Amino acid sequence: MSIEVIQTKNAPAAVGPYSQGIKAGNTIYVSGQLPINPYTGDLYKGNDIKEETKISLQNIQAILQESGASLKDVVKCTVYIKNMDQFGLINEMYGEFFKDHKPARVCVEVARLPKDANIEIDAIAVM
């Protein structure tokens, strides 16, 4: 099986010793994406969890596109959030990205995320 590192300038650079994504055979593992602007490196820290969710998912989308995949290939996501009270708002934006195709998902509330972000999302896709 071939293993390929996925790297795109259209998603934020890794904030540690890991890859944006890895393609192993026909499976793509996208590392957790924070709501970081890929062009400035700035973390979005407004009071709008829907916008933060959107940016995280756009970053996932960019990494998938670099590997030749799309959101329709996603089979599982994990969503890490700092405030479970925002679950409904997160779902609203998440649902705009996954309309007809709904991958398996886990959502957990965590005490803290890198860069003190409010949300982080990772994904697994199969082509």
**Active-site amino acid positions:** 107
Rg of the chain (C-alpha set): 14
Asked whether the beta carbons of 64 and 125 are under 8 A apart, the reply is yes
Pairing between strand 27-33 and 3-6?
unpaired
- Cα dihedral angle (81, 49, 47, 9), rounded to 10 degrees? 90
Nearest Cα to Cα of residue 21 among 10, 113, 80: 10
Query: Hey, CA dihedral for 104, 55, 11, 66, is it positive or negative?
Result: positive
- For residues 40 and 3, what is the distance between their CA atoms, to the nearest angstrom? 29
